[in-house]
Amino acid sequence: MDKEGKKRKRKIRISGVILILLIIYLVAMCGYYLFTVKIKSINVKGLKYLSENEVLKSADIDLDTSIFKMLTSSAKKKIKNLPLVKDAKISINLSGEVTIDVKENKILFFNSLDNKIVLEGGKTVDNNAYKGVPILVNYVKSDAYDNFVKAFSKVDSDIIYMISEIEYDPDEYNGVILDEERFLLRMDDGNIVFINNVNIEKLNKYQSIYASVGSGGVLYLDSSSDNYIFNVYTEDGNVTAQSGEINNEE
């Protein structure tokens, strides 16, 4: 090999070493930056019942936490360990801004018999501090209860928030139980709604029905038909009946 070839090979080797050293330097500087730079802001989204403080405390993060710790810690797993959390996503940018997007489990009701909050899927929480949730006021037969929890999980949260009390009230005539899975719902607007597990998704139409019938009456949604009946009872015993088709309500 001539001298010119040797020089060219030596130059290639030197440039390769310089490139490797540059990469190592950049990686080290990036690691140093992530290890030393603190979180500048934290934005927690998606909360209905949990507080931002509960989420941050569970993840053990605050504005003194380094970005490096956020990237290497189990913050997401810690947040998901909260009973009310269904899922959590954490995103971080290099300027130190952290966004935590929380998806909560739906709260169905507060069971006054065992002082537990019941979540979608039947999971329970030993906490009755959450406000604005319906209260189950009496005992429910086990099969009817399990079916109710499963069916009620399909009701929109906005409708659930409109219910103040849930009472197990099987349909009975002359000592014969006709429907052992019927419930009476007391609404915040003053209406009473009869519903059963089979037809419980009709509750998702409640707001549009209410716009037509108003308040102060009894709404029957426990029939297998697509119609509803709304009765207003006066003190003198008279009844004003109104009906309509649920599927036509907008």
Cross-sheet strand order for the sheet of 124-125: 124-125, 116-119, 107-111, 135-136, 163-168, 182-187, 192-196, 218-220, 227-233, 239-245
Number of other residues whose CB lies within 10 A of the CB of residue 77: 10
pLDDT in tens, 49-81: 888 999 999 988 888 777 767 765 678 889 999
pLDDT in tens, 206-246: 999 999 999 999 999 999 888 899 999 887 778 888 889 98
In this structure, what token pair is assigned to residue 24? Answer: 């190592």
Contact 99, 55 (CB under 8 A): no
Burial of 47 (0-12, 13-18, 19+ CB in 10 A): middle
Q: Which residue ranges form the domains of the chain, and what is each CATH number?
A: 41-104 (3.10.20.310), 107-248 (3.40.50)
pLDDT of residue 4: 54
- Residues 153, 201: Cα–Cα separation, whole Å: 9
